[in-house]
Homo-oligomer: A and B are copies of this chain.
Protein backbone atom coordinates (compact mmCIF):
# COMPACT_ATOMS: atom_id res chain seq x y z
CA UNK A 1 0.00 0.00 0.00
CA UNK A 2 1.25 3.48 -0.80
CA UNK A 3 1.41 6.19 1.89
CA UNK A 4 -2.12 7.47 1.37
CA UNK A 5 -3.85 4.26 0.30
CA UNK A 6 -4.23 5.28 -3.34
CA UNK A 7 -2.69 2.78 -5.80
CA UNK A 8 -0.02 4.05 -8.20
CA UNK A 9 -2.23 3.11 -11.13
CA UNK A 10 -4.45 6.09 -10.30
CA UNK A 11 -1.66 8.46 -9.27
CA UNK A 12 -1.86 10.23 -12.59
CA UNK A 13 -4.03 12.53 -14.64
CA UNK A 14 -6.94 10.55 -15.99
CA UNK A 15 -6.08 11.21 -19.64
CA UNK A 16 -2.88 9.26 -19.06
CA UNK A 17 -4.92 6.14 -18.48
CA UNK A 18 -5.87 6.38 -22.15
CA UNK A 19 -2.50 7.26 -23.65
CA UNK A 20 -1.41 3.66 -24.10
CA UNK A 21 -4.09 3.49 -26.77
CA UNK A 22 -3.02 6.78 -28.33
CA UNK A 23 0.67 6.27 -29.02
CA UNK A 24 1.89 4.65 -32.19
CA UNK A 25 3.15 1.09 -31.63
CA UNK A 26 6.69 1.34 -30.35
CA UNK A 27 9.65 -0.66 -29.06
CA UNK A 28 10.96 2.14 -26.91
CA UNK A 29 9.92 5.54 -25.64
CA UNK A 30 11.92 8.12 -23.66
CA UNK A 31 10.76 11.28 -21.88
CA UNK A 32 12.55 13.80 -19.66
CA UNK A 33 11.77 16.57 -17.19
CA UNK A 34 13.32 20.04 -17.10
CA UNK A 35 12.91 23.52 -15.66
CA UNK A 36 12.72 25.92 -18.58
CA UNK A 37 13.49 29.09 -16.62
CA UNK A 38 15.32 30.37 -13.55
CA UNK A 39 13.56 31.25 -10.30
CA UNK A 40 10.80 33.79 -10.98
CA UNK A 41 11.93 33.89 -14.61
CA UNK A 42 15.25 35.49 -13.59
CA UNK A 43 17.35 35.52 -16.75
CA UNK A 44 20.49 36.79 -15.04
CA UNK A 45 20.58 33.97 -12.50
CA UNK A 46 19.22 30.65 -13.76
CA UNK A 47 20.86 28.50 -11.10
CA UNK A 48 18.78 25.96 -9.25
CA UNK A 49 19.19 23.14 -6.71
CA UNK A 50 17.86 19.92 -8.23
CA UNK A 51 16.21 18.08 -5.35
CA UNK A 52 13.38 15.76 -4.42
CA UNK A 53 13.43 12.74 -6.72
CA UNK A 54 14.30 10.45 -3.80
CA UNK A 55 11.05 11.15 -1.97
CA UNK A 56 8.94 10.35 -5.02
CA UNK A 57 10.85 7.21 -5.93
CA UNK A 58 11.18 5.80 -2.41
CA UNK A 59 7.61 6.47 -1.35
CA UNK A 60 5.69 5.86 -4.57
CA UNK A 61 7.53 4.49 -7.60
CA UNK A 62 9.73 1.91 -5.88
CA UNK A 63 6.84 0.38 -3.93
CA UNK A 64 5.48 -2.92 -5.19
CA UNK A 65 1.91 -2.89 -6.32
CA UNK A 66 -0.34 -5.68 -5.30
CA UNK A 67 -3.29 -7.49 -6.82
CA UNK A 68 -5.39 -5.45 -4.40
CA UNK A 69 -4.05 -2.30 -6.04
CA UNK A 70 -4.92 -3.71 -9.46
CA UNK A 71 -8.41 -4.61 -8.34
CA UNK A 72 -9.03 -1.25 -6.71
CA UNK A 73 -7.85 0.51 -9.83
CA UNK A 74 -10.09 -1.67 -11.94
CA UNK A 75 -13.06 -0.85 -9.74
CA UNK A 76 -12.22 2.82 -10.15
CA UNK A 77 -11.73 2.68 -13.91
CA UNK A 78 -15.02 0.87 -14.36
CA UNK A 79 -16.97 3.51 -12.45
CA UNK A 80 -20.46 4.01 -13.68
CA UNK A 81 -20.95 6.82 -16.11
CA UNK A 82 -17.25 7.17 -16.76
CA UNK A 83 -16.27 8.64 -20.08
CA UNK A 84 -12.56 7.99 -20.01
CA UNK A 85 -12.09 4.46 -21.24
CA UNK A 86 -13.68 3.08 -24.36
CA UNK A 87 -15.10 -0.31 -23.47
CA UNK A 88 -16.58 -2.43 -20.72
CA UNK A 89 -14.89 -4.28 -19.15
CA UNK A 90 -12.57 -1.32 -19.16
CA UNK A 91 -9.28 -1.37 -20.92
CA UNK A 92 -6.68 0.05 -18.62
CA UNK A 93 -2.95 -0.25 -18.87
CA UNK A 94 -3.13 -2.12 -15.59
CA UNK A 95 -5.97 -4.54 -15.96
CA UNK A 96 -5.82 -8.14 -17.03
CA UNK A 97 -8.77 -7.24 -19.25
CA UNK A 98 -6.76 -5.17 -21.66
CA UNK A 99 -8.01 -7.26 -24.51
CA UNK A 100 -8.37 -5.14 -27.55
CA UNK A 101 -4.94 -3.64 -27.62
CA UNK A 102 -2.81 -5.98 -29.74
CA UNK A 103 0.57 -7.17 -28.47
CA UNK A 104 2.92 -5.69 -27.52
CA UNK A 105 0.51 -4.46 -24.87
CA UNK A 106 0.99 -3.49 -21.27
CA UNK A 107 -0.32 -6.06 -18.85
CA UNK A 108 0.85 -5.20 -15.39
CA UNK A 109 0.00 -7.51 -12.60
CA UNK A 110 1.54 -7.48 -9.15
CA UNK A 111 5.06 -6.08 -9.28
CA UNK A 112 6.83 -2.82 -9.89
CA UNK A 113 6.14 -0.10 -12.39
CA UNK A 114 7.98 -1.24 -15.55
CA UNK A 115 10.14 1.76 -16.49
CA UNK A 116 13.73 2.89 -15.95
CA UNK A 117 14.40 6.22 -14.25
CA UNK A 118 17.56 8.29 -14.41
CA UNK A 119 18.04 11.39 -12.28
CA UNK A 120 20.63 13.92 -11.21
CA UNK A 121 22.17 13.24 -7.78
CA UNK A 122 20.10 15.00 -5.09
CA UNK A 123 21.36 18.54 -4.52
CA UNK A 124 23.10 18.89 -7.87
CA UNK A 125 23.28 22.57 -8.79
CA UNK A 126 22.39 23.25 -12.41
CA UNK A 127 21.02 25.93 -14.66
CA UNK A 128 17.61 25.95 -16.31
CA UNK A 129 17.12 23.48 -19.20
CA UNK A 130 19.18 20.65 -17.72
CA UNK A 131 17.10 17.45 -17.54
CA UNK A 132 16.57 16.52 -13.89
CA UNK A 133 15.20 13.10 -14.78
CA UNK A 134 14.69 10.87 -17.78
CA UNK A 135 12.21 8.00 -18.12
CA UNK A 136 12.77 5.04 -20.43
CA UNK A 137 10.15 2.43 -21.26
CA UNK A 138 10.80 -0.49 -23.60
CA UNK A 139 9.04 -3.40 -25.26
CA UNK A 140 5.42 -3.97 -24.33
CA UNK A 141 5.71 -1.27 -21.66
CA UNK A 142 6.73 1.50 -24.08
CA UNK A 143 3.30 3.17 -24.00
CA UNK A 144 3.61 3.55 -20.21
CA UNK A 145 6.61 5.87 -20.59
CA UNK A 146 4.75 9.03 -19.62
CA UNK A 147 2.25 7.56 -17.14
CA UNK A 148 4.41 8.63 -14.19
CA UNK A 149 4.79 12.16 -15.55
CA UNK A 150 2.12 13.54 -13.23
CA UNK A 151 3.82 12.15 -10.15
CA UNK A 152 7.41 12.88 -11.16
CA UNK A 153 6.58 16.40 -12.30
CA UNK A 154 5.99 17.17 -8.63
CA UNK A 155 9.76 17.43 -8.35
CA UNK A 156 9.11 21.05 -9.36
CA UNK A 157 8.21 21.70 -5.73
CA UNK A 158 11.23 20.56 -3.69
CA UNK A 159 13.57 21.91 -6.37
CA UNK A 160 11.86 25.30 -6.34
CA UNK A 161 11.91 25.53 -2.52
CA UNK A 162 15.53 24.36 -2.37
CA UNK A 163 16.44 27.05 -4.91
CA UNK A 164 14.50 29.79 -3.11
CA UNK A 165 16.06 28.83 0.21
CA UNK A 166 19.56 28.81 -1.28
CA UNK A 167 18.95 32.24 -2.82
CA UNK A 168 17.85 33.46 0.61
CA UNK A 169 21.14 32.20 1.96
CA UNK A 170 22.88 34.36 -0.65
CA UNK A 171 21.06 37.39 0.79
CA UNK A 172 22.16 36.47 4.31
CA UNK A 173 25.76 35.84 3.26
CA UNK A 174 26.02 39.20 1.51
CA UNK A 175 24.65 40.93 4.59
CA UNK A 176 27.07 39.10 6.90
CA UNK A 177 29.93 39.82 4.52
CA UNK A 178 29.29 43.55 4.77
CA UNK A 179 28.41 44.01 8.42
CA UNK A 180 29.43 41.05 10.59
CA UNK A 181 32.78 40.16 12.11
CA UNK A 182 32.10 36.57 11.12
CA UNK A 183 31.64 37.46 7.47
CA UNK A 184 29.73 35.27 5.02
CA UNK A 185 31.06 32.08 6.60
CA UNK A 186 29.89 33.01 10.11
CA UNK A 187 28.40 30.00 11.81
CA UNK A 188 25.33 32.17 12.50
CA UNK A 189 24.48 32.24 8.78
CA UNK A 190 22.85 28.85 8.64
CA UNK A 191 20.39 29.64 11.42
CA UNK A 192 19.28 33.00 9.94
CA UNK A 193 16.25 31.80 7.99
CA UNK A 194 13.81 29.68 9.97
CA UNK A 195 11.13 27.65 8.21
CA UNK A 196 7.81 28.94 9.59
CA UNK A 197 5.81 27.36 6.78
CA UNK A 198 4.19 24.24 8.23
CA UNK A 199 0.71 25.64 8.86
CA UNK A 200 0.69 27.47 5.54
CA UNK A 201 1.17 24.17 3.72
CA UNK A 202 -1.70 22.39 2.03
CA UNK A 203 -0.83 19.06 3.63
CA UNK A 204 1.53 17.26 5.96
CA UNK A 205 3.26 15.64 3.01
CA UNK A 206 4.02 19.03 1.49
CA UNK A 207 5.50 20.22 4.80
CA UNK A 208 7.85 17.24 4.79
CA UNK A 209 8.94 17.68 1.17
CA UNK A 210 9.28 21.46 1.22
CA UNK A 211 10.68 21.57 4.73
CA UNK A 212 13.47 19.13 3.82
CA UNK A 213 14.34 21.25 0.78
CA UNK A 214 14.84 24.26 3.05
CA UNK A 215 17.06 22.24 5.39
CA UNK A 216 19.60 21.85 2.58
CA UNK A 217 20.73 25.45 3.03
CA UNK A 218 19.77 26.27 6.63
CA UNK A 219 19.60 24.30 9.88
CA UNK A 220 16.70 26.30 11.36
CA UNK A 221 13.18 25.00 11.07
CA UNK A 222 9.99 25.03 13.05
CA UNK A 223 8.52 22.46 10.66
CA UNK A 224 9.12 19.41 12.81
CA UNK A 225 7.59 17.00 10.30
CA UNK A 226 10.46 17.83 7.95
CA UNK A 227 13.18 17.93 10.59
CA UNK A 228 11.97 14.52 11.79
CA UNK A 229 11.78 13.04 8.29
CA UNK A 230 15.18 14.41 7.27
CA UNK A 231 16.82 13.09 10.42
CA UNK A 232 15.33 9.61 10.59
CA UNK A 233 14.47 8.77 6.98
CA UNK A 234 17.19 10.60 5.07
CA UNK A 235 20.14 10.94 7.40
CA UNK A 236 20.51 7.78 9.46
CA UNK A 237 19.21 9.46 12.61
CA UNK A 238 21.72 12.30 12.61
CA UNK A 239 20.01 15.63 13.47
CA UNK A 240 19.38 18.03 10.62
CA UNK A 241 17.24 20.91 11.88
CA UNK A 242 16.44 22.71 15.07
CA UNK A 243 14.73 25.71 16.53
CA UNK A 244 14.34 27.58 19.82
CA UNK A 245 11.58 27.92 22.42
CA UNK A 246 9.29 30.78 21.46
CA UNK A 247 5.96 32.25 22.46
CA UNK A 248 2.95 32.71 20.24
CA UNK A 249 0.06 35.13 20.77
CA UNK A 250 -1.92 32.59 22.78
CA UNK A 251 0.89 32.49 25.32
CA UNK A 252 1.19 36.27 25.57
CA UNK A 253 -2.57 36.80 25.84
CA UNK A 254 -3.26 33.98 28.30
CA UNK A 255 -1.36 35.77 31.06
CA UNK A 256 -2.86 38.80 32.77
CA UNK A 257 -0.06 40.93 31.28
CA UNK A 258 2.61 40.54 28.60
CA UNK A 259 5.21 41.23 31.29
CA UNK A 260 3.97 38.18 33.22
CA UNK A 261 4.24 36.05 30.08
CA UNK A 262 7.79 37.26 29.43
CA UNK A 263 8.77 36.73 33.05
CA UNK A 264 7.60 33.14 32.82
CA UNK A 265 9.62 32.69 29.61
CA UNK A 266 12.72 34.06 31.32
CA UNK A 267 12.12 31.74 34.29
CA UNK A 268 11.80 28.69 32.04
CA UNK A 269 14.19 29.41 29.20
CA UNK A 270 16.18 32.46 30.27
CA UNK A 271 19.61 30.80 30.20
CA UNK A 272 19.32 29.83 26.53
CA UNK A 273 18.05 31.40 23.33
CA UNK A 274 14.31 32.14 23.33
CA UNK A 275 11.84 34.36 21.51
CA UNK A 276 8.80 36.45 22.43
CA UNK A 277 6.16 37.78 20.03
CA UNK A 278 5.57 41.45 20.82
CA UNK A 279 2.44 42.69 18.99
CA UNK A 280 -0.43 41.05 20.87
CA UNK A 281 -1.87 44.42 21.88
CA UNK A 282 0.42 47.41 21.31
CA UNK A 283 3.80 46.77 19.72
CA UNK A 284 5.22 50.21 20.55
CA UNK A 285 4.25 49.93 24.18
CA UNK A 286 5.57 46.37 24.39
CA UNK A 287 8.96 47.68 23.25
CA UNK A 288 8.99 50.88 25.24
CA UNK A 289 7.36 49.73 28.48
CA UNK A 290 7.07 45.95 28.78
CA UNK A 291 10.59 45.12 27.59
CA UNK A 292 12.34 47.53 30.00
CA UNK A 293 10.20 46.19 32.85
CA UNK A 294 11.63 42.67 32.48
CA UNK A 295 15.13 43.68 31.38
CA UNK A 296 16.86 43.24 34.72
CA UNK A 297 15.40 39.76 35.18
CA UNK A 298 16.36 38.85 31.61
CA UNK A 299 19.96 40.06 32.10
CA UNK A 300 20.26 38.22 35.41
CA UNK A 301 19.65 34.93 33.61
CA UNK A 302 22.30 35.57 30.98
CA UNK A 303 20.57 34.14 27.88
CA UNK A 304 19.66 35.57 24.48
CA UNK A 305 16.20 37.08 23.94
CA UNK A 306 14.79 37.31 20.42
CA UNK A 307 12.04 39.89 19.88
CA UNK A 308 9.44 38.95 17.29
CA UNK A 309 7.28 41.62 15.61
CA UNK A 310 4.35 40.03 13.74
CA UNK A 311 2.42 42.80 12.00
CA UNK A 312 2.89 46.21 10.45
CA UNK A 313 5.60 47.10 7.94
CA UNK A 314 8.33 44.45 8.27
CA UNK A 315 11.29 46.81 7.84
CA UNK A 316 9.95 49.40 10.27
CA UNK A 317 9.01 46.72 12.77
CA UNK A 318 12.54 45.30 12.76
CA UNK A 319 14.18 48.72 13.14
CA UNK A 320 11.87 49.61 16.02
CA UNK A 321 12.80 46.40 17.83
CA UNK A 322 16.53 46.88 17.22
CA UNK A 323 16.45 50.44 18.50
CA UNK A 324 14.41 49.46 21.54
CA UNK A 325 16.72 46.54 22.34
CA UNK A 326 19.81 48.68 21.85
CA UNK A 327 18.40 51.22 24.28
CA UNK A 328 17.54 48.60 26.89
CA UNK A 329 20.47 46.19 26.62
CA UNK A 330 23.18 48.24 24.91
CA UNK A 331 25.43 47.22 22.05
CA UNK A 332 29.08 46.95 21.11
CA UNK A 333 30.60 48.10 17.85
CA UNK A 334 32.25 45.32 15.85
CA UNK A 335 35.41 45.52 13.72
CA UNK A 336 33.38 46.67 10.71
CA UNK A 337 31.81 49.50 12.72
CA UNK A 338 28.36 47.94 13.10
CA UNK A 339 26.48 47.59 16.37
CA UNK A 340 25.86 44.16 17.94
CA UNK A 341 23.17 44.29 20.62
CA UNK A 342 24.05 42.56 23.89
CA UNK A 343 22.06 39.39 24.51
CA UNK A 344 19.11 40.39 22.36
CA UNK A 345 18.08 40.26 18.69
CA UNK A 346 15.08 40.31 16.40
CA UNK A 347 13.33 37.74 14.23
CA UNK A 348 10.96 38.99 11.54
CA UNK A 349 8.55 36.22 10.60
CA UNK A 350 5.69 38.16 9.04
CA UNK A 351 5.60 39.17 5.38
CA UNK A 352 8.98 37.64 4.56
CA UNK A 353 10.08 36.70 1.08
CA UNK A 354 13.35 37.21 -0.83
CA UNK A 355 12.50 40.85 -1.52
CA UNK A 356 11.62 41.84 2.05
CA UNK A 357 14.66 39.95 3.36
CA UNK A 358 16.88 41.99 1.09
CA UNK A 359 15.10 45.21 2.01
CA UNK A 360 15.44 44.59 5.73
CA UNK A 361 19.09 43.59 5.46
CA UNK A 362 19.85 46.85 3.63
CA UNK A 363 17.83 48.90 6.12
CA UNK A 364 19.55 47.50 9.20
CA UNK A 365 22.93 48.08 7.58
CA UNK A 366 21.99 51.69 6.88
CA UNK A 367 20.90 52.02 10.51
CA UNK A 368 24.32 50.78 11.64
CA UNK A 369 23.31 47.33 12.92
CA UNK A 370 25.27 44.16 12.14
CA UNK A 371 23.55 41.24 10.42
CA UNK A 372 24.15 39.22 13.59
CA UNK A 373 21.18 40.97 15.23
CA UNK A 374 18.49 39.77 12.86
CA UNK A 375 16.92 36.46 11.82
CA UNK A 376 14.06 35.80 9.47
CA UNK A 377 11.13 33.42 9.55
CA UNK A 378 9.58 32.63 6.20
CA UNK A 379 6.26 30.78 6.17
CA UNK A 380 3.96 30.79 3.18
CA UNK A 381 6.62 32.70 1.26
CA UNK A 382 8.96 29.73 1.61
CA UNK A 383 6.74 26.66 1.39
CA UNK A 384 3.55 27.74 -0.41
CA UNK A 385 3.86 30.87 -2.54
CA UNK A 386 5.60 29.05 -5.35
CA UNK A 387 4.16 27.05 -8.22
CA UNK A 388 5.14 24.97 -11.22
CA UNK A 389 5.46 28.18 -13.28
CA UNK A 390 7.95 29.73 -10.83
CA UNK A 391 10.70 27.91 -12.74
CA UNK A 392 8.52 26.54 -15.60
CA UNK A 393 8.80 22.81 -15.12
CA UNK A 394 7.61 20.33 -17.74
CA UNK A 395 8.06 16.70 -18.74
CA UNK A 396 8.20 15.96 -22.49
CA UNK A 397 8.62 12.95 -24.76
CA UNK A 398 11.98 13.14 -26.56
CA UNK A 399 12.52 9.85 -28.39
CA UNK A 400 10.66 6.91 -29.82
CA UNK A 401 11.62 3.69 -31.62
CA UNK A 402 8.67 2.69 -33.79
CA UNK A 403 7.34 -0.83 -34.29
CA UNK A 404 9.34 -1.11 -37.52
CA UNK A 405 12.59 -0.35 -35.73
CA UNK A 406 12.90 3.21 -37.00
CA UNK A 407 14.07 5.65 -34.29
CA UNK A 408 12.84 9.24 -34.15
CA UNK A 409 13.74 12.19 -31.98
CA UNK A 410 10.72 14.13 -30.77
CA UNK A 411 10.44 17.86 -30.12
CA UNK A 412 7.47 19.97 -29.15
CA UNK A 413 7.82 23.40 -30.76
CA UNK A 414 4.65 25.48 -30.41
CA UNK A 415 4.76 28.68 -32.46
CA UNK A 416 2.31 30.25 -30.02
CA UNK A 417 4.92 30.10 -27.24
CA UNK A 418 8.50 29.44 -28.30
CA UNK A 419 9.51 29.25 -24.61
CA UNK A 420 7.63 25.96 -24.46
CA UNK A 421 9.76 24.05 -26.96
CA UNK A 422 11.37 20.84 -25.69
CA UNK A 423 14.71 19.13 -26.32
CA UNK A 424 14.89 16.31 -28.89
CA UNK A 425 16.44 12.86 -28.44
CA UNK A 426 17.74 10.86 -25.49
CA UNK A 427 19.74 13.21 -23.27
CA UNK A 428 22.84 13.10 -21.13
CA UNK A 429 24.35 15.69 -18.79
CA UNK A 430 28.09 16.26 -18.44
CA UNK A 431 30.10 18.95 -16.71
CA UNK A 432 31.92 21.28 -19.10
CA UNK A 433 34.18 23.72 -17.25
CA UNK A 434 32.15 22.89 -14.16
CA UNK A 435 28.81 23.67 -15.79
CA UNK A 436 26.35 20.77 -16.15
CA UNK A 437 25.72 20.79 -19.90
CA UNK A 438 23.12 18.93 -21.94
CA UNK A 439 24.29 16.54 -24.64
CA UNK A 440 22.60 14.03 -26.89
CA UNK A 441 23.12 10.63 -25.26
CA UNK A 442 23.91 9.03 -28.61
CA UNK A 443 27.24 10.73 -29.19
CA UNK A 444 30.71 9.71 -28.05
CA UNK A 445 31.06 13.03 -26.24
CA UNK A 446 29.75 11.74 -22.91
CA UNK A 447 31.39 8.65 -21.42
CA UNK A 448 28.98 6.65 -19.25
CA UNK A 449 30.81 7.59 -16.04
CA UNK A 450 30.62 11.28 -16.97
CA UNK A 451 26.83 11.31 -17.29
CA UNK A 452 25.31 13.08 -14.27
CA UNK A 453 21.99 11.36 -14.97
CA UNK A 454 22.25 8.18 -12.89
CA UNK A 455 19.86 5.24 -12.88
CA UNK A 456 17.86 5.43 -9.63
CA UNK A 457 15.14 2.88 -10.47
CA UNK A 458 14.91 0.11 -13.04
CA UNK A 459 11.60 -1.75 -13.06
CA UNK A 460 12.13 -2.00 -9.31
CA UNK A 461 14.16 -0.37 -6.55
CA UNK A 462 17.95 -0.33 -6.75
CA UNK A 463 20.40 -0.55 -3.88
CA UNK A 464 22.71 2.25 -2.86
CA UNK A 465 21.45 4.98 -5.11
CA UNK A 466 20.75 7.62 -2.47
CA UNK A 467 23.21 9.82 -0.61
CA UNK A 468 22.48 10.71 2.99
CA UNK A 469 21.19 14.20 3.79
CA UNK A 470 24.55 15.47 5.08
CA UNK A 471 26.17 14.51 1.77
CA UNK A 472 23.45 16.26 -0.21
CA UNK A 473 23.82 19.39 1.92
CA UNK A 474 27.55 19.44 1.35
CA UNK A 475 26.96 19.05 -2.39
CA UNK A 476 24.65 22.05 -2.49
CA UNK A 477 27.10 24.17 -0.50
CA UNK A 478 30.03 23.30 -2.76
CA UNK A 479 28.32 23.37 -6.15
CA UNK A 480 26.14 26.48 -5.75
CA UNK A 481 29.05 28.83 -5.11
CA UNK A 482 31.12 27.29 -7.89
CA UNK A 483 28.44 27.81 -10.53
CA UNK A 484 28.25 31.00 -12.62
CA UNK A 485 24.87 32.71 -12.28
CA UNK A 486 23.98 31.78 -15.82
CA UNK A 487 25.68 29.77 -18.53
CA UNK A 488 25.31 28.46 -22.04
CA UNK A 489 24.57 24.86 -21.11
CA UNK A 490 23.33 23.37 -24.39
CA UNK A 491 26.13 21.52 -26.18
CA UNK A 492 26.71 22.30 -29.83
CA UNK A 493 25.80 18.73 -30.77
CA UNK A 494 22.39 19.09 -29.13
CA UNK A 495 21.97 22.50 -30.69
CA UNK A 496 22.56 20.87 -34.06
CA UNK A 497 19.85 18.31 -33.29
CA UNK A 498 17.43 21.10 -32.40
CA UNK A 499 18.21 22.75 -35.72
CA UNK A 500 17.47 19.55 -37.59
CA UNK A 501 14.18 19.11 -35.79
CA UNK A 502 13.11 22.66 -36.38
CA UNK A 503 13.99 22.32 -40.04
CA UNK A 504 11.44 19.48 -40.17
CA UNK A 505 8.74 21.79 -38.86
CA UNK A 506 9.68 25.26 -40.02
CA UNK A 507 10.24 27.62 -37.12
CA UNK A 508 13.58 28.25 -35.39
CA UNK A 509 13.40 28.40 -31.58
CA UNK A 510 15.61 31.03 -29.95
CA UNK A 511 17.97 28.41 -28.59
CA UNK A 512 19.06 27.35 -32.09
CA UNK A 513 19.64 30.82 -33.48
Contact = CB atoms under 8 A, between A and B. Distances in A.
Given A7-B228, A12-B198, A203-B205, 10 more contacts: A6-B228, A14-B223, A21-B269, A81-B239, A84-B244, A279-B415, A279-B417, A281-B506, A311-B420, A312-B416
A13 B21 CA distance: 47
Given A12-B224, A76-B228, A268-B21, A86 B380 contact: no
A410 interface: yes
A205 B3 CA distance: 9
A150 B198 contact: yes
Closest 8 CB pairs of A and B: A250-B397, A312-B416, A311-B417, A205-B205, A18-B245, A79-B239, A203-B205, A157-B202
B244 A83 contact: yes
A79 to B, nearest CB: 4
Nearest to A23: B254
B228 A10 contact: yes
Nearest to A381: B387
A22 interface: yes
6 contacts: A6-B229, A13-B196, A13-B224, A21-B245, A60-B204, A76-B227
Interface in A385-404: 385, 387-389, 396-397, 400
A413 interface: yes
Contact of A204 (B3, B224, B410): B3
A250 B146 contact: yes
B253 A410 contact: yes
A441 interface: no
A22 B146 contact: no
A414 interface: yes
Contacts of A248: 15-16, 19, 146
A328 B507 CA distance: 26
Contact of A242 (B84, B153, B209, B232): B84
A11 interface: yes
B414 A281 contact: yes
Contact of A225 (B6, B243, B249, B414): B6
Contacts of A14: 221-224, 227, 242-243
A285 to B, nearest CB: 8
A72 interface: yes
Interface residues on A, range: 35 or more
A224 B11 contact: yes
Given A205-B205, A224-B76, A268-B22, A84 B414 contact: no
A231 interface: yes
Contacts of A310: 414
A210 interface: yes
A494 interface: no
Interface string A354-396: 0000000000000000000000000110001101110000001
A151 interface: yes
B317 A416 contact: yes
B199 A82 contact: no
A40 interface: no
A280 B415 CA distance: 8
A245 B85 contact: yes
A24 B22 CA distance: 66
Nearest to A268: B21
Interface in A1-55: 2-7, 10-19, 21-24, 26, 29, 31
Nearest to A16: B248
A315 interface: no
A85 B244 CA distance: 8
Contacts of A387: 200, 380, 384-385
A508 interface: no
B231 A411 contact: no
Contact of A17 (B26, B204, B224, B309): B224
Nearest to A101: B268
Contact of A82 (B6, B157, B239): B239
A171 to B, nearest CB: 21
Contacts of A156: 200
A307 to B, nearest CB: 14
A90 B201 CA distance: 28
A198 B151 CA distance: 8
B19 A225 contact: no
Contacts of A157: 201-203
A145 B412 CA distance: 54
